[in-house]
Amino acid sequence: MTGGTTEPGSQSLEPLFYPRSIAIIGASADPARISGKPIESLKAASFAGPIYPVNPRHQEVQGLACYPHIDAVPGPVDLVLVTVPAAGVVNALEASARKGARSAVIFSSGFAEVSESGAVAQARMSEIAATSGMRILGPNCMGLFNVRHKSYVTFSSAFLRAWPKPGPIAIISQSGAFGAHCFVMARERGFGLSHWVTTGNECDVDCAEALAYMADDADTGVILAYIEGTRRGDLLIDAFARARTNRKPVILMKVGRSTVGAEAAKSHTATLAGDDAVYDAVFRDLGVHRARTFQELFDTAKACAMGKFPRRGRVGIVTISGGGGILMADAAAEIGLDVPPMPEEAQRKLKKLLPYASPRNPVDTTAQALDDMSLAQRNLEIMLEEGDFDAIACFFASVGLSPQVGPKLRDAVIAACRGHSATPVLMAMAATPELIAELAAAGIAHFEDPVAAIEAIGALVRFGRAFERKLATPPALPAPRPAPSAGMLDEAASKALLGGAGIEFLADRLVRSADEAVAAAEMLGLPVALKLLSPDIAHKTEVGGVALGLNSPDAVVRAFDEMMMRVRTERPEARITGALVAPMITGGTEMMLGVQRDPVFGPAIMVGMGGIYAEVLRDVAFRLAPFGTDDAHELIGRLRGYPVLAGARGQARLDIDGLASALSRLSLFAAANAAWLDSVDINPIIVTPKSAVAVDALVVARLVNPDQRAHQRRHIQR
Amino acid sequence: MTGGTTEPGSQSLEPLFYPRSIAIIGASADPARISGKPIESLKAASFAGPIYPVNPRHQEVQGLACYPHIDAVPGPVDLVLVTVPAAGVVNALEASARKGARSAVIFSSGFAEVSESGAVAQARMSEIAATSGMRILGPNCMGLFNVRHKSYVTFSSAFLRAWPKPGPIAIISQSGAFGAHCFVMARERGFGLSHWVTTGNECDVDCAEALAYMADDADTGVILAYIEGTRRGDLLIDAFARARTNRKPVILMKVGRSTVGAEAAKSHTATLAGDDAVYDAVFRDLGVHRARTFQELFDTAKACAMGKFPRRGRVGIVTISGGGGILMADAAAEIGLDVPPMPEEAQRKLKKLLPYASPRNPVDTTAQALDDMSLAQRNLEIMLEEGDFDAIACFFASVGLSPQVGPKLRDAVIAACRGHSATPVLMAMAATPELIAELAAAGIAHFEDPVAAIEAIGALVRFGRAFERKLATPPALPAPRPAPSAGMLDEAASKALLGGAGIEFLADRLVRSADEAVAAAEMLGLPVALKLLSPDIAHKTEVGGVALGLNSPDAVVRAFDEMMMRVRTERPEARITGALVAPMITGGTEMMLGVQRDPVFGPAIMVGMGGIYAEVLRDVAFRLAPFGTDDAHELIGRLRGYPVLAGARGQARLDIDGLASALSRLSLFAAANAAWLDSVDINPIIVTPKSAVAVDALVVARLVNPDQRAHQRRHIQR
């Protein structure tokens, strides 16, 4: 059933997603109860395997033989559904493991999400999973279902009013309520589904593993996910990479972007949420679409279900409303899609067909096209054949509501698309549910809002490009450096460490007296900068620890003496190693590089424009370590201030290659030393037309806990 | 029927929007034809006044007496509908004017939008309107209707399947197709409408006048508009201001934001489109909501139809899905709304009510609240009574689709809102159309997407603040200066002009020789800057016309000689007035000020962060002239780089008052001299903690056409 699964973890989820037999511990005769509903559903859906109710108080449950204990079940059990109260769950799991059950689902709540004792019980469940090999979904989840396999292991009653249609979309949600809502919304929109799974407290199986499974599942083509956070960044990254390799778009909502939101997220789950900017970097890096609204989630999924992911972004727009065409062209420009004119010859053809039309692109057929649908059809065919477009967006106002004209337009559009199946055609208009379903059946996604159709094309193109992107092999990591003692390293030590990693620093000299400072200044050439060196002072400027533009020996002496005096007065306790003398660098642009260890994903590398204005705007970009110079270039290119580097307004192009090289080397250093590295700040690094030279650096080491080494992120080929 | 109309133009639109009698020139017996459909509609809707078909070929049309000519119509005519082909329109209008008809509507197309000769005919129509006083709507429009008055003067067949419901929303569209689509979408959503009008080519009545009329119309509470551009900026501004004074939200789509879009807009209408950034400034300044999508247009209108516009943005969120609550809190934070915690005492009450709930805010009742609806009701009541919220957003997942629980929830929510009518309550959930209509009838706006509900609250609060904003009286304008000859003024003349307007410039000296330069430098104090002065050279730096940091007499002499030699070599034709010597200013932040004459709205004033990085990011803000220092402060506060001025990262706060004063003075100067002023660039103006001093300026005058003086923008009190 599933594709080429290579990860051992994935194989072991098979009994959850394709169970051949299901036992229900705590089975109830009442289908209205949580412990009765799944039995009703499995029966109603005609699940093909044996269903074993387990309950010592019944002989028979909902017409099925009931067993007093899981041991008494006559056959092997792929999936045990545990519906007993929280206090009985561990016992039930232990018994199931003894019975040799291959997987378990736990609806019950009252564990890590409510109390410390609950967390202890939940830890016991994780242990049972680890030692027995029985995979456990939950606790505090709503279960799962497989549409084609008819295994409805959930107490949600949502689907009882209509079975889900089989189709390519899998829904994965950490939250049960969110998952149920997503399912209902998908059904309301007529989407076809493969799997639906809620992971709850994730004592064993988590959303990352479920995602990886769907990435390999042959029935699944599009993955919808809702996550609040994850503990296992490496698995999540692996799942995203796997989906990308298999050309399956992942569209997800990740909440907790704001401070208020993040606080609520913590109270809602017991998950350690990583920093949101790092999540964003991961999503972007792996081509995952992060949706901000349900509308965007489902609109994107609908477009993806067409299974066409162009790599270029040339959009043809056809409409009966000139204003609608402009609206869509505006939206396309805003998200970086092209709306190129039709070729001259094709324009002539369109004009001959429909004399009142604007044939350029957006093509405005005017309402004339509705009078003779063969003209509308031919118009669209010419656009598909001769426009060299990667996608076509149509906007036909409210025609889809007209009982006379709507069906004719539907037929014309479907006929035009026949034989042009490589090009996604998206239809925006107000339309009846029947018309929408008929268009969908013909592979034409429908949108009410024309701007939503354009945005969906933007998403398709982003996926197309992500799927095509060569998987970069990061360069080999350098040998790790011995862990320094925890805390801040001083500037000289920081620079030595990073300089050893291949990052170029401004040549400077360590001096311990005014005389040594003058000698150094004369050797380096005036003017120079003088900077205090102390392991106890992070922000030198605040204690007058930086003097710039010293252009005579006198000035150097004066600055050295003043600096020492002031520091001894203001920070008498600070150890002073001496001072650094460095040449002044003129011109160029200040940038910042940095490393921040993310608790979930490991070291994240930052590049940002420097200077106070850029800092105020937070013009920064993140990527996980390690990466090569190509990825470093891509990262730098994301900065809004990038044109400053590339040579805006007649200025010379700066040494972006040098900056990219420093960035990549920093990422390799961070990955190699993830065991002890907490953070790095290189601020500024000055980029001139000829070089990218770091001026100042601060490395912070953390307390190394031997346990944590085991949790270091694996470096996956992406 | 209408409110306190004070503008003469508005009164004269009464016969269009509330006609007492209607004649149809070119009336057809066939209701399927454009010339027959309006008669069918007026009859079917039971329009109360007389309907006079006019057509020499019929005695009777659709059961009504038909007249051979408009002269033959027995009574007075408020509105003449002209449905004859383009060639006959002018004759029909002339005859109608002679008959004393008070208004006319022209469906026919084939005028300014297609050809020069069409434009001539259209100009003739404008003349007829101006000389006769008969107000003309169109040509090339779809007409208009008034729901309560039952005057359906349109050939759109959209409403024949269901009459629009009376309600507060007026729809105004320049495009007929767009207008028709908006109407259908509004009807699909169950919106109640007052008026619907399409203005087409606008030979006389334009969208601005229609907007002004709706701003005063007693039946209208919310104005939806679609515009591509306007020729009469002053009227549009007046209309927006009037709507704001009358607390009527204006929500509009204005297309043509992108280059492609703007090109299509020009080909679509014969309108002179102003620069989009200036439109944006006008909308923002006057509290107009610009929607990017139909979805946003209608979501905002739906929320506005509740008629509650809080000034503060404290949002209470209640949900049965923890994840949904986080999602909404994220969205609220993103648009600047507060999600403050419930008071402690209220939290205790909620917790007592629903022990599993998170009572802080977002309030997560969990599904527990659905088991006993009286608890859900009481929960919401406590939030309304004790939360000190300005709006409440609810998210109840898919409960609205449940035949059992949905109606109970509806009753609970409606009951809770009773007696708390001042607070807007927005309900997000998937729900049946019936439930949505019932909520709407109780004054509770429904949204499918919870994020859309939050964004709608954001719009309500923006309107509330705009409605409350004191209408600033701009300071009195200075006397206008005589128009200089067209073209660029040199730096000295530019500075003299702007200095005379009260803008402080760096003290500088005009010098004509190296010796004079040295004398000036010694008087001002070294170091100095030297800048070439020539009326023929706009970009001094490109010819080596700027030398900075000259810190000795020798350096001044060398710089002067080199500059003159280089300019004479590279630009031998350029007239050289001399050079300016100015003191060097150190520290501070570079900013830019500017004026750009907009063809539609007159002088627009710009403030922006200076420096190459800020220029690359286009961190600028616009406002129409003139304005006082309060508005100048508000404008400066919109810059993303504002924290740099306000003292970010421990830096001193800069002289924002000085900058605001310069900005306001520039706006007064621009307004006073709008007759001849084309543009001004003040770049840079250096803002230090103590002053805002302009360094360089360039004023450009335009050829003054005596005709254009008449089109100068009136300055309306806003």
In 3D space, the residue among B557, B325, B185 whose CA is nearest the CA of residue A261 turns out to be B325
Min distance A531 CA to chain B CA atoms (Å): 20
Q: Please give the pLDDT value at position B611.
A: 80
Put simply, the answer to whether B451 touches A293 (Cβ < 8 Å) is: yes
| pLDDT score for A419 | 87
Interface of B with A in 441-460 (CB under 8 A): 448-452
What's the complex ipTM? 0.88
A295 min Cα distance to partner chain B (Å)? 7
State mean pLDDT over B629-633. 96
What does the pLDDT average to over B675-687? 93
Across the interface, which of A226, A430, A614 has its CB nearest the CB of B323?
A226
Could you give the C-alpha distances from B79 to B122, B154, B489, in angstroms and in order?
19, 12, 54
CA-nearest residue of chain A to B648?
Answer: A616
| CB-count exposure of residue B432 (10 Å: 0-12, 13-18, 19+) | middle
* Nearest chain B alpha carbon to A188: B430
* A319 and A427 Cβ atoms separated by less than 8 Å: no
Top residue of B175, B181, B394 to mutate, by most chain A CBs within 10 Å, is B181
Q: What pLDDT is attached to residue B447?
A: 97
Q: What is the pLDDT of residue B4?
A: 37
Cβ proximity of A288 and A211 under 8 Å: no
Beta carbons of B50 and B21 less than 8 angstroms apart: yes
Across B132-155, average pLDDT: 96
pLDDT digits (tens, 9 = 90+) for A23-62: 999 999 999 899 999 999 999 999 999 999 999 999 999 9
Q: In A, residues 15-54, which contact B (CB 8 Å cutoff)?
A: none
B614 touching A (Cβ < 8 Å): yes
| Mean pLDDT rounded to a whole number for chain B | 90
Whether chain A has a CB inside 8 Å of the CB on B277: the answer is: no
Closest CA to A472 of A286, A317, A685: A286
Contacts of A158 in chain B (CB under 8 A): 398
The closest CB to that of B330, out of A255, A362, A589, belongs to A255
Provide, rounded to the nearest whole percent, the portion of chain A with pLDDT above 90.
Answer: 72
Distance CA B226, CA B267 (A): 17
Compute the average pLDDT of residues B277-297: 94
- Name the residue facing A612 among B178, B324, B651 (closest C-beta): B651
- pLDDT at position A703, please? 84
Segments of B260-338 assigned E as strands: 289-290, 315-319
A430 and B184 within 8 Å at the Cβ level: the answer is yes
Three-state DSSP at A215 gives helix
Work out the angle at residue A277's Cα, subtended by the Cα atoms of residues A275 and A280, and round it to the nearest 5 degrees. Answer: 115
Structural domains of chain B, ranges and CATH numbers in brackets: 8-304 (3.40.50.261), 315-468 (3.40.50.261), 507-583 (3.30.1490.20), 589-709 (3.30.470.20)
**CA distance, residue B612 to nearest chain A CA (Å):** 7
Provide the pLDDT for residue A538: 73
The DSSP H or E segment spanning A373 is helix A373-386
Interchain pair B267, A358: CB under 8 A: yes
> What band does B431 get if pLDDT is binned at 50, 70 and 90?
very high
Residues of B in contact with A295 (CB under 8 A): 295, 448-449, 451-452
Q: For residue B657, what are the CA distances in angstroms to B470, B660, B687, B696?
A: 20, 5, 10, 20
| Ranges A145-159, B273-287, B312-326: which has the least confidence | B273-287
Measured distance between the N- and C-terminal CA atoms of chain A, rounded to whole angstroms = 26
Dist CA B672 CA B625 (whole Å):
9
pLDDT at A395 over 50: yes
Q: Residue B392 — φ and ψ, nearest 5°?
A: -125, 130
The pLDDT value recorded for residue A261 is 60
User: Per DSSP, which regions of A584-634 are E strands?
Assistant: 589-598, 602-609, 620-624
Residue of A nearest to B258 (CA): A330
pLDDT at position A270 over 60: no
Q: Give residue B318's identity as a one-letter amino acid code.
A: V
Instruction: Please report the residues numbered 147 through 206 in chain A whose beta carbons come closer than 8 angstroms to any beta carbon of chain B.
Output: 158, 174-175, 177-178, 180-181, 184-185, 188
Q: Does A294 sit within 8 Å of B261, measured CB to CB? A: no
d(CA B696, CA B548): 13
In the predicted model, is pLDDT for residue A272 greater than 50? Answer: no
- Separation between Cα atoms, residue B647 and residue B631, nearest integer Å: 21
Q: How confident is the model over B625-640, as a mean pLDDT?
A: 95
Least reliable range by pLDDT among A128-132, A156-160, B560-564? A156-160
Distance CA A186, CA A191 (A): 5
Q: Which of residues 390-419 of B touch A (CB under 8 A)?
A: 397-398, 401
Note whether A616 contacts B641, CB cutoff 8 Å. Answer: yes
CA gap B175, B269 in Å, rounded = 9
What is the arithmetic mean of pLDDT over A571-582?
Answer: 90
Residue B266 confidence (pLDDT): 52
CA nearest to B428, candidates B377, B375, B392, B475? B392
How many other CB atoms are there within 10 angstroms of residue A568's CB atom? 11
What is the distance between the alpha carbons of residues B200 and B206, in angstroms, rounded to a whole number?
A: 8
pLDDT in tens, A638-652: 999 999 999 877 778
Question: Higher model confidence: residue A118 or residue A552?
Answer: A118
Q: Would you state the pLDDT for residue B543?
A: 78
Contacts of B610 (CB under 8 A, 6+ apart): B589, B590, B591, B592, B683, B684, B685
pLDDT greater at residue B278 or residue A586: B278
Q: What is the pLDDT of residue A259?
A: 63
Q: What is the pLDDT of residues A435-491, one digit of tens each?
A: 999 999 999 999 999 999 999 999 999 999 999 987 778 899 999 999 999 998 988
Q: Nearest Cα to B278, choosing from B233, B212, B221? A: B233
CB distance A326 to B256 below 8 Å: yes
More confident residue, B35 or A491: B35
Q: What is the rounded average pLDDT of the residues A234-246? A: 95
Whether A177 and B228 lie within 8 Å, measured CB to CB:
no
Interface of B with A in 52-81 (CB under 8 A): none
Q: Residue written as tokens 């609206």? A: A327
Question: How is residue B361 written in tokens?
Answer: 């805010």
Q: Which of residues 226-245 of A touch B (CB under 8 A)?
A: 226, 228
Higher pLDDT, B534 or A390: A390
Give alpha helix (H) positions in A525-624.
553-570, 611-617
Facing residue for A255 by CB, picked from B268, B323, B449: B323
Residue in B with minimal Cα distance to A363: B264
Mutate to test the interface with B, among A141, A269, A298, A327 (most CBs of B within 10 A): A327
A333 near B CB under 8 A: yes
Report the pLDDT averaged over residues B390-400. Answer: 95
Closest-CA residue of A relative to B402 is: A158
With a CB-CB cutoff of 8 Å, which residues 657-686 of chain B face chain A? none
pLDDT of residue B265: 56
Q: Mean pLDDT check: name the lowest of A322-331, A362-371, B370-379.
A: A362-371
- Residue B264: the pLDDT is 58
Query: What pTM did the predictor assign?
Result: 0.90
Chain B CB contacts of A324 under 8 Å are: 177-178, 181
Residues 6+ apart with CB under 8 A from A10: A2, A209, A212, A213, A216
CB atoms A177 and B450 under 8 Å? no
Residue B267: CB partners within 8 Å, gap ≥ 6?
Answer: A322, A358, A360
Q: Do B617 and A617 touch (CB under 8 A)?
A: yes
d(CA B205, CA B202): 6
Q: How confident is the model at residue B8 (pLDDT cuts 50, 70, 90)?
A: very low
**Is some CB atom of chain B closer than 8 A to the CB atom of A368?**
no
What residues of chain A lie within 8 A of the CB of B397, using their CB? Answer: 177-178, 180-181, 184
Highest mean pLDDT among A520-534, A582-596, B388-402: B388-402
Which residue in A256, A449, A643 is closest to B330 by CB distance?
A256
Question: What is the structure's pLDDT at A430?
Answer: 93
pLDDT of A557: 93
Percent of chain B having pLDDT more than 90? 72
Q: With bands split at pLDDT 50, 70 and 90, how would you rate the model's confidence at B260?
A: low
Q: What is the pLDDT of residue A262?
A: 61
* Phi–psi pair at B157, nearest 5 degrees: -100, 5
Nearest to A268 among B294, B323, B331 (CB): B323
Closest Cβ–Cβ partner in B255, B339, B364 for A326: B255
Of A175, A329, A609, the CB nearest to B264: A329
B19: amino acid identity, one letter: P
The overall longest dimension of chain A from CA atoms, in Å, is 101
Q: What is the pLDDT of residues A499-537, one digit of tens each?
A: 999 999 998 889 999 999 999 999 988 888 999 988 788
Q: Note whether B320 contacts A158, CB cutoff 8 Å.
A: no
Q: What angle do CA A44, A45, A49 make, to 5 degrees?
A: 105
* pLDDT at residue number A713: 39
What 3-state DSSP class applies to B345?
Answer: helix
pLDDT of B97 over the 70 cut: yes
Sign of the dihedral through C-alpha A459, A463, A464, A466: positive
DSSP bridge pairs for A697 = A682
Q: Testing the interface with A: which of B326, B365, B402, B612 to mutate, by most A Cβ within 10 A?
A: B326
**Nearest in space to A644 (alpha carbons), one of A584, A690, A591, A586:** A591
Q: How sure is the predictor about B535, in pLDDT bands with cuts at 50, 70 and 90?
A: confident
Please tell me the distance from the alpha carbon of residue A277 to that of residue B607, in angstroms, as a whole number. 31
**Strands A677-687 vs A697-701: parallel, antiparallel or unpaired:** antiparallel
Min distance A644 CA to chain B CA atoms (Å): 6
Q: Give Cα separations from A296 to A167, A229, A450, B513 (angstroms).
A: 20, 20, 13, 67
3-state secondary structure of A312: coil
pLDDT in tens, A68-120: 999 999 999 999 999 999 999 999 999 999 999 999 999 998 899 888 999 99
Residue B707 has pLDDT above 70, yes or no: no
Cα atoms in the Cβ-side hemisphere of radius 13 Å centred on B506: 26
For A352, half-sphere exposure in the C-beta direction (CA atoms, 13 angstrom radius) is 8
B455: nearest CA in chain A? A293
Beta bridge partners of B595: B605, B680
List all residues 6 or more positions away from A577 whose beta carbon is below 8 Å from its beta carbon: A490, A492, A510, A533, A534, A535
Handedness of CA B344, B347, B353, B356 (dihedral sign): negative
d(CA A595, CA A669): 10
Residues of chain B with pLDDT > 70: what percent?
Answer: 94
- Nearest by CB to A644, which of B175, B262, B612? B612
Query: In the predicted model, is pLDDT for residue B272 greater than 60?
Result: no
